[in-house]
Each structure stands twice: as C-alpha cells, then as structure tokens.
Structure 1
Amino acid sequence: MNIFSCESDVFGVFKDTNSYCFKESLCEDAKGMLSLYEAAHFALEGEDILEEAKAFTTKHLKEHYIKSTPTIDRHLAKLMNHSLELPLRWTTPRVEARWYIEACVDDDSLHPDVLQLAKLNFDMVQAAQQEELKELSRWWKNLDLASHVSFARDRLVENYFWALGIIPDHRYGCCRIGIAKLISFTTPIDDIYDIYGSLDELELFTSVIESWDIKAMEKLPNYMKLCFLALYNTINEISYFLLKKHGLDLVYYLKEMWAGICKSYLVEARWYHNKYTPSLEEYLENGFISITAPLILLHTYVLLQEDISVEALEYLTTHPKIARWSAMIVHLYNDLATSTVCEVTIMFVVA
C-alpha cells in the first residue's frame, strides 16, 4: 500500500473496533510495527490517528527491542534501534544511505549483487561530491576571506554538507556548489553582526549592502570592505551565469534578499546593544529571515529551475506562509541548541 496516496484514516484498519485502540496483535509483526512507526512520522496537523500510531509503535518497539533482541532477526533489531533514535523522515538521504548499506551486511535475505550495486552507486555519487568539495575548497582558498576575517567561523565542509542536505540529488551539483558558497558567506557576516562589529559599523555595512554600490564601501573598515566585495563579486558572478543561461537579469532579487538578511541581523544587533528583550512576536517575525531560509530558498530556485519566472520571484520575496513557517521552525530548532526557553516556543508554534 502506498501511504502517500491515501488519507490517514486508512490506518483505522489497525484499530480494535470495540476499544478504538490499536490492536495488540500488531505487536506480533515486528517488521510491520517498524513500518507503521516510520509512516506515522509523516503525520500532518490534525491527523490524530497517526499521532496515536506514533505513540503506540514507539512504546512497543522499545519493549520489543529491549526484551526480545536475542529472539528476533539481528538485522531487524539494528533497524529498530536506529529508527527509534532517528526516524527515516528526519534523516539526510546520503548519510542514511551509507548507514543502511553497512547495516545490510547482516541481512541474509538481501541478494549480494544488489548490495554490491548499492555500494558502487554510493561510491560513484560520493566521488562526484568530493570533486564538488574540491572546487569549493579552491574557490574558498583563492577568496582568502577567512584569513582576513579571522574571528568568524570557517566551516566550508559543514557549509557544503548543509547544501547537500538541501539539494541531495547528485544531478544538481552546480546548484549545490552555489548554495554552499552562499552559506559560506552567511556565517562570517552573521559573526560580524553578532560578535565583532560596532553598532555604527554595522549600520554602515547594512546601508552598503542595501545600496549594492562599490563606491559606498569607502567608509567601511577593511575587514568589512573585503567581506562586501567578496559577496558582491560572487553574487554578480551567479547573476552573470543566470543571465547567460536564462536571459534574465536577477541581480536585483538576489541583492534584495541579502539586504533583507543584513537588516534582520542589524535588528538583533540593536536589541543586544540596547539590552532590549524582544517580544515573542518580534523575535519570530525577525527570526524567520535571520535564519537565512528565505534567502537560500530564492537562490535555490534560480539555480535549480530551468524555467524561471519573474512572477515566481516576486512571490518568493513576499515570504509566503509555507516558507515563513518552515523558516520559523528552523530558526527555533537552531536556537534550541543554546536556550531551553526555545523548546517551549517550538511546541507552541508547531502546535
């Protein structure tokens, strides 16, 4: 059965008609329970039956794994333990593929040729991605921004990994490289606003980004000049590539997104310097932009699409609800790493 082609009510067949609870007999099929558990993580808002399924399967899989591991298939036990730790819905495809290939060594039911084919496919894709990372490394080394903005985070491989999570399909290497370059700029610029620049410098830097004018950067300190010029050249290079490919001048849309993110960084810098605690509404409204999701979404669209429309670009700049709420959740989960208060906020927003 294809769970994606039917409504969640189809899972009602697994419930007892008298008690309206999930049938205890389901526990006899460990593999089926694992499949139901994975399916339950695709629940949308209001699909209570899948939320019940998630709680039911989690409880019984834990009991089954802890109490019955010696009596069940070793491969299945490994899948259970891994899925309970991180459901398939929450994984990064390429990382999961690597783990699954290694896990399948214990699966006696799998034909060895299939496993060998999976290994070859993984190695070929990985080799292509290593070439992408080499290209990025050469670009970053030639840019030499890290040595001049030494206080900022220098995490090129991590930035590429983020891009790989956004664009996992091996066919879109050009887009993946472009996104990794953009993310490589967001971290030093974020650090400039967070920990290094004075408020006066940040005000000036933001105005220069907004103007997108080389002449306007004369009053900037050297480290900001280098950062702006590196960003300016990279965005113009991407715009040149898009103009050749699609015949569209997209500099305006790209620089507007960068201006938007710098203005959101500036708002947070002002809060910090003025010792101002924002309201929840202010925090969320500014945070969905400062997390860079809208910026990356628009750049992904223009780098990935074969048929770019001005109407779509205009629509993306309005921050539609689906993009806004997704970005907000990313922002909250990001802040959760440093603040327990965010856990309550996340539960409030998601609910």
Structure 2
Amino acid sequence: MAFQGLFSTFVVTALPRSCPPPAINKFKLYSKPVQCVTNPTTTINNDQVTLRRSANYAPCFWDYNFIKSLTSDYTEEKYARQIDELEDDVKRLIQAETDVPLVKLELLDTVDRLGLKYKFQEDVKKALDFIYNNSSDAWLNDDLYSTALRFRILRKHGYTVPQDVFRRFKDDKGKFKENLGEDVKGLLSLYEASFFGFKGEDTIDEAKAFSTTHLKNALKGKISPDMVRKLKNALDMPLHWKLPRVEARSYIDTYENEQNMNPSLLNLAKLDYNILQSIYQKEVSKLASWWVKTGLDKMSFARDRLLEHYFWCNGMVSGPEYSAYRDMGTKILSLMTTIDDVYDVYGSLEELELFTDYVERWDITEIDKLPMNIRTVLLAMFNTTNEIGYWTMRERDFNIIPYLRKEWAKLLKAFLKEAKWYHSRYQPTLEEYLENGAVSVAAPLVLFCAYFLTADKITVDALEYIDKFPSIMWCPSLILRLTNDLGTYSDELARGDTLKVVQCYMNDTGASEEVSKIYVEGLVHETWKTLNTELLGSFPFGEPFLSANPNLARTTQTVYQHGDGLGLPENGTMDYLKSLLLEPINL
C-alpha cells in the first residue's frame, strides 16, 4: 500500500500499518491498574446497578438561543456590484503581463493568504503555468527569498520543483552557508518552503533545521517589531499547516499595513470574509436548532461541542457552495463525539457490544435492551444518518446508506476495541495503538462524508477507493491521532483512559516522556512529507475532497495546537470561532 515505509528513516521504524514493530525493550511504564474518573454515577437498568464513569467535561460554552438568532448585514446581494468591481480589478492584476516574475509570485501568494484563491482559480493556474514554463532561473540569482518563495508556491500548486534549486546556497562541504543567517527575510522564506518537502529529501530537511535554528537566533537580535511578529507566527505554525480561513483573517490585518498593499485586493478580502461569515452564521443557526431538538445537548456525560465541530467541517471545506457538507458533516461529527463519550466513559462493555452490533446490522428492533441515554444517542445517530441518506438519494440520485452504515460500523468497532483494552487493562503496543487509533479518531468517516456530500456525481469507483483507506486519507488520519493525543493525553490518562501514543512509545522503548513527545512530534513532520507526495497522485475524485484531506490535518493542528481545543475550547478554538462567526472586519 501507499503508506508502507512511511517512517522508515525516522528514528525508530514502527508505524506503517503493514510493517512489524522493531525489536525493542518491552518495559511497561504503567503496570498498575489505572484509577476511575472522579464523580462516578450509577444507573439502574433491568434491576441491575451499573457504575458509570464521568469525565467531568466542561459544559457548552455557547448560548444556543443566541446562536440561533445570528444575523449579518453583509449579504452577497447587498454588495454584489462592489464585489464584481473589485474582482475585476484583482483579475486584471493577476492577468497583467510582467517582466518581474517575483512580483507576480508575491501577488499570487497574497491572493492565496487572503483567502481569495477560490475566486480566481483559472487565472492563478494560468499565471503559474506561465512562470513555470517561460521564466528561467536567472532571475533568482543568489537570492534566497525569491528561490524559496518560487519553490513553495509551485510545489503547493503541484508543479515539479527539485530540491537541487537550493544547492547554490551551500558551501563546499554541502552545508548551508553560515552568512545566510544574516538574511532574515530569506531564512523565513526558506523555513516556509521546507514544509513542502518529500520523504528522502535531505536538502529540504537540512533547510528546515538550518532556518529554524537561525530564525530563533534572529529573535534574540535587533530586528523590527514587524519581523519579530512574523517570525514568532511562523515558528508557532508554518503556513503550510495553517487553516486557510484562520490565516485569511490574520493576514488581512497584516496586509493592511504592508507598504505595497493594493486597496482593491484588501477591500475584496474584507468584504469576502464578512459575506462568508454571514453564510456561516445561517448555517450554525440551523444547526443549533437541530442539536437542541435531538436532546443530545442534555447528555451531561458527553461533550456538547456543536460549534467546535462546525469549525472542523468549515476548516475542511469552506467554500460557500458547500453548505450541505458543513451542515450534515457537523451533525455526523457531533454524533461521533457523543458516541465516543458513550464508549470511553459512560457505557458498560455489554452495552457497547450491543450498540456496535445494532449499528453493524443496521437493526434497532432490540434497542430497549439499552438504557435510556444510550438508546437516545443510538436513535439520533440512526435517524440522522437515514435523513442524510434521503438527501443524497434526492439530490445525487445515489443510495449512500449501505456505504455510510459500513463506515459507522468500522468506527464503532475501533471504539469497542479501545473499550475492551480499557476494561481488560490491556496495554497496546505503539503499532497496535496507531493501527486502531487512525480509525477510532473518526477521520475516515469524516473524510468519507466530505467526499459524498461535496461530489457533483458520486461514483462507485471513488467509494471503493476510499473504502481501502488510501495513503492520502491515512496520513491526515494519523496526523489527527498524533496531534489529538499530544494535546489531550494528560487529561485522558488522569481519568483512566487507555494509554495514548506517547505512553505506548514509552512502554515500547523505555524512553522518557519528554523524548517520547519529541518522537511523536517528529512523526507529524514525517507524515506531512508523505502527504505532500500523495497529493500529487492521480485519484478517482477531485476538488474539494482532494483539499479536504490536508485541510483535515490543518484543522486538527489548529484545534490541538495549545492543548485540548475540543474538550476545552478556551484553548484557542473559541477565539477562532468568534472570528469566524461573530466578529466582522471593519471596512
């Protein structure tokens, strides 16, 4: 399979699903039984008392009545004429002939970072084709900034650019020249370019290490406050990993203060952001009504995170024409998390086995064997899934239910395996954990929904390809599992959950917690390299599903960048949601 050998050169070979684990010390760090979470509850079902754990999740951070009332003055109809005029201005900028390729590259990069590329796809493609096919490398000379910018932009858009373009910046010993450390702008450009590397590209790996070290050193020197801000933002998270809508909101403020700012481009970016915000407000308003009607907002044992799940779906596919995906994808995600909490903390093993069996058979005739709370969750999942199936039949003339129920069953089997590990106190190896964890993190089902809810025409070939869990899906799923665990493992271990990726690596190798965290962070980088390569492949599907895969990875790194941004949205996610939904930009 495509993901074989995914990490074969990184520290310890242990991850590809088809590869055996290395011969390592089987020292078990957590040999004592873990403790149950605080504040357990009991329920009585058929005269039997069941002790139920509680994760003590924080309640919902949003007032759903307020969310249902959201409105905006920034409607597309109201600003249609102004939008058309600004789009014409920007289109002329992109189409204009120039003898200076660098100026055009910077323009295209600005259009992308402002969140406007979706409006000018064909024009951007023609401009890049011209730069790639007609401009020689002579204009680059020994300019690190220009070389790295060209490398980054062309690779991002799928053009072949060899790593050898950076050889001119190396000395006779094959090392990057130390005097490059004085070129902060060039180093920043090299740093951003290095995240578009492929597996086995030693020069790009060296560029990443070299630029990272020198940028950190530059922060200790005398540079402008503006450059300090840019370096800190980049070192916090590179452009390639940033969520497009989050970056658009941030870069609008940055671009407004740039010396070469173009008013038409800036005004279009501001208007577009506010108009999209008005569309998103309507979507979350409807979702809030649906969520409250299900009654799942009253499940005290589960995370009530409707808007956070909307943020996830919006991050994956943000185009205004894909409202159906954000609506139904958010519903699926919200149900997933509630069900996850049933399996992780609330249900007994017998109840979880029944739940899994009912979904696998798609038969709820014996649902009364479950207690009321779990029965309610199952019915909500069953009814919502069938409603989505009806929409797909009506709008796409395709019966998606057999495929959707199969994906649900895969997810619940993965949930159940982890529940059995917990109840038996089994400690999985790293390989076992990640094999199951890439599924239990729910990414395959989320990505599956992103395909069939955005495709103009659903095909069996694409569905069969997706069902095989190809590398283009495996990589973002693994990134989600790794970053999720890095952000949440401390709290989850405290409440008695099964071991997470850091602890599995510690147990497999005897490494310290700090060393294990560094290892896992390195796996994230390695997985991105493989994903970069996979995105250049040929697939039985196109956009927006193709971009939804790396966008899933970007969303998870945004959500878990500063801790558990789902369980505790105040760790960044809440601020992102306020910008996305509540705070228009002043024109």
User: Could you tell me the TM-score, scaled by structure 1's length?
Assistant: 0.92
Query: What's the counterpart of residue 49 of structure 1?
Result: 203
CA distance in 1, matches of 2:523, 2:182: 37
Deviations along 1:285-317, one digit per CA (max 9) or x if unpaired, are 211110111111111110011121112212222
AA paired with 1:16? K
The Cα shift of 1:28 comes to 4.6
Residue in structure 2 matching 1:86, options 226, 237, 240:
237
Shift of 1:284: 1.8
Distance 1:105 1:348, change over 3 A: closer
Displacement of 1:64 in angstroms is: 2.6
CA shift digits 1:95-143 (9 cap, x unpaired) = 1111111223432331344323221111111121121111111111122
Counterpart-to-counterpart distance in 1, 2:288 and 2:268: 30
After superposition, residues 203-218 of structure 1 pair within 5 angstroms as 203-218=353-368
Is contact 2:360-2:405 (8 Å) kept? yes
Which residue is equivalent to 1:3?
154
| Whole-angstrom distance in 1 between the partners of 2:439 and 2:392 | 24
SS of aligned partner of 2:399: coil
Does the 8 Å CA contact 1:329/1:346 hold for their aligned counterparts?
no
The separation in 2 between residues aligned to 1:28 and 1:298, in whole angstroms, is 47
Instruction: Check whether the contact 2:415–2:440 (CA below 8 A) recurs between aligned residues.
Output: yes
Deviation at 1:345, TM superposition (A): 4.9
Q: Give SS of 1:109's match.
A: coil
Provide the rounded CA distance (Å) in 2 between the counterparts of 1:28 and 1:256: 56
The reply on whether 1:21 has 2:165 as its aligned counterpart is: no
Residues 64, 278 of structure 1: alpha-carbon distance in 2 compared, 3 angstrom cutoff: closer
- Tell me if 1:184 matches 2:334: yes
Map 1:142-291 → 2, pairs under 5 A: 142-147=293-298, 149-291=299-441
Asked if 1:301 is matched to 2:455, the reply is no
Aligned position for 2:274? 123
Give me the whole-angstrom Cα distance separating, in 2, the residues matched to 1:288 and 1:172. 26
Question: Which of residues 240, 246, 256 is equivalent to 1:95?
Answer: 246
Contact 1:294 1:323 in 2 (8 A): yes
Contact 1:75 / 1:104 at 8 angstroms: preserved in 2? no
The Cα offsets for residues 158-198 of structure 1, whole Å up to 9 and x where unpaired, read as 11111112113333121122111111011110000111111
Is the 2:444–2:477 contact (alpha carbons within 8 Å) kept by the matching residues of 1? yes
Q: Could you list the per-position Cα deviations for residues 188-226 of structure 1 after superposition, in whole angstroms to 9, with x for gaps in the alignment?
A: 100001111111111111111112123131212111221
Q: Which amino acid aligns with 2:341?
A: D
2:291 matches 1:140: yes
> What fraction of aligned residue pairs are identical, expressed as a percent?
41
Question: Which amino acid in 1 is paired with 2:239?
Answer: L
Name the CA distance, whole Å, in 1 between partners of 2:394 and 2:332.
20
For 2:245 and 2:475, the matched residues in 1 are separated by: 26
Q: Which letter maps to 1:22?
A: F
Counterpart CA distance in 2 for 1:114 and 1:347 is: 38
Q: Distance in 2 between matches of 1:187 and 1:102?
A: 34
Q: Write the distance in 2 (CA, Å) between the matches of 1:66 and 1:347.
A: 25
Q: Is the 1:3–1:39 Cα contact (8 Å) retained in structure 2? A: no
Higher RCO, 1 vs 2 (CA within 8 Å, ≥6 residues apart): 2
Q: Note the alpha carbon deviations across 1:317-344, whole angstroms, 9 max, x for none.
A: 2222332343223212211221543633
The structure richer in helix per residue is 1
Q: Measured at CA, do residues 114 and 7 of structure 1 come closer, stay the same or move farther in structure 2, by a change above 3 Å?
A: closer
Quick one: structure 1 residues 101 and 321, their matched pair in 2 at CA, closer, same or farther if it must change by over 3 Å?
Answer: closer
Q: What is the alpha-carbon distance in structure 2 between the residues aligned to residue 193 and residue 254 of structure 1?
A: 20
Cα distance change, pair 346–207 in 1 and its aligned pair in 2 (3 A): farther
Indicate the larger mover: 233-242 or 115-124: 115-124
Query: What amino acid maps onto 2:170 in structure 1?
Result: D
Report the 3-state secondary structure (helix = DSSP H, G, I; strand = E; otherwise coil) of the residue aligned with 2:426.
coil
The answer (yes or no) to whether the contact 1:193–1:269 under 8 Å persists in 2 is yes
2:479 pairs, out of 322, 325, 329, with 329
Deviation at 1:242, TM superposition (A): 0.8
CA contact (8 A) 1:206 1:266 kept: yes
Give, in whole Å, the separation in 2 of the partners of 1:218 and 1:100. 53
SS in structure 1 opposite 2:359?
helix
Alpha carbons of structure 1 residues 274 and 162: separation in structure 2 relative to 1, 3 Å: same
Q: Distance in 2 between matches of 1:325 and 1:122?
A: 30
Contact 2:171 2:177 (C-alpha < 8 Å) held by counterparts: no
Unmatched segments (≥5 aa) in structure 1:
none
Q: How far did residue 81 of structure 1 move?
A: 2.2
Q: 1:75·1:103 contact (CA, 8 Å) conserved in 2?
A: no
Query: Does the residue aligned with 2:473 lie in a helix, a strand or coil?
Result: helix
Change (3 A) 1:198 1:326: same
1:111 aligns with 2:256: no
Q: Deviations over 1:9-28 (max 9, x none)?
A: 24334423523222344345
Q: What's the offset of the Cα at 1:46? A: 0.8
Letter in 2 for 1:170: P
Work out whether residues 11 and 49 of structure 1, in 8 Å CA contact, stay in contact via their aligned partners in 2.
Answer: no
* Whole-angstrom distance in 1 between the partners of 2:481 and 2:170: 41
Which stretch has the larger CA shift, 220-229 or 100-109?
100-109
How large is the RMSD of aligned CA atoms in angstroms? 2.1
Distance 2:256 2:434 in 1: 46
Amino acid at match of 1:18: D
Alpha-carbon separation, structure 1, partners of 2:459 and 2:485: 34
Change (3 A) 1:247 1:40: same
